[in-house]
């Protein structure tokens, strides 16, 4: 399946302010957003969910842990590469990123509990997560933050499905961080 990867010039006029905001924040519009450029309502919804997650009480590093955990669980080559690129800006250590890319937890009790909770929400769709939820709370997170994790899982699942369905090419900015899911790395 192919859809156009829009630029600011080819995007629907109503999508252009979002393209400009993403460019201002990131320096470019990642392909996973650019494919929504022709659908202003979908673009607005995607950007709104991303913004809500970005405004959560979770730290930038914690948000990247969630996004990497979900992307690895969903075997999304595009999003794992993208969030590997973004992790340095979020002050997530390279050792934590590399562990997560390998399907392991970060070597940090709090971040590990967060990764396990996000991964379990993803793989089991919110069912049977009581052990991981208890670990999340024991690591010092507040119950309200579980809802913020769910927003992050939903947002990342949206982008993972988009990237996987369309087999999106990596942006030049993500190419150095290319990733192959473990089962395919033979």
CATH value at residue 122: 1.20.1290.10
The reply to whether the predicted model has a pTM over 0.75 is yes
Average pLDDT of the chain is 95
Q: What average pLDDT does the segment 15-27 reach? A: 95
Listed in sequence order, the DSSP H helices in the chain are 16-26, 31-34, 40-54, 60-73, 77-87, 94-101, 109-124, 130-138, 143-166
pLDDT in tens, 118-173: 999 999 998 989 999 999 999 999 999 999 999 999 999 999 999 999 999 999 99
Residue-wise pLDDT tens digits, 71-118: 999 999 999 999 999 998 889 999 999 999 999 999 999 999 999 999
In the chain, the number of structural domains is 2
Q: What is the DSSP letter of 122?
A: H
Same domain, 154 and 168: yes
47 belongs to a structural domain: yes
Q: Is residue 1 part of a domain?
A: no
| 121 shares a domain with 33 | no
């Amino acid at each position: 399946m192919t859809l156009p990867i829009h630029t600011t010039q080819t995007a629907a006029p109503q999508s252009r302010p979002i393209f400009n905001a993403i460019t201002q924040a990131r320096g470019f519009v990642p392909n996973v957003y650019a494919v929504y450029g022709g659908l202003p309502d979908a673009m607005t919804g995607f950007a709104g969910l991303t913004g809500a997650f970005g405004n959560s009480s979770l730290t930038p590093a914690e948000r990247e842990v969630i996004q990497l955990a979900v992307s690895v669980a969903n075997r999304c080559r595009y999003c794992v590469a993208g969030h590997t690129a973004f992790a340095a800006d979020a002050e997530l250590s390279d050792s934590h990123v590399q562990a997560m890319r390998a399907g392991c937890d970060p070597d940090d009790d709090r971040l590990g509990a967060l990764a396990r909770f996000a991964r379990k929400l993803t793989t089991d769709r919110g069912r049977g997560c009581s052990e991981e939820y208890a670990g999340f709370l024991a690591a010092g997170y507040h119950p309200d933050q579980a809802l913020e994790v769910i927003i992050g899982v939903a947002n990342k699942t949206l982008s993972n499905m988009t990237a996987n369905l369309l087999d999106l090419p990596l942006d030049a900015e993500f190419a150095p961080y290319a990733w192959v899911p473990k089962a395919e790395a033979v």
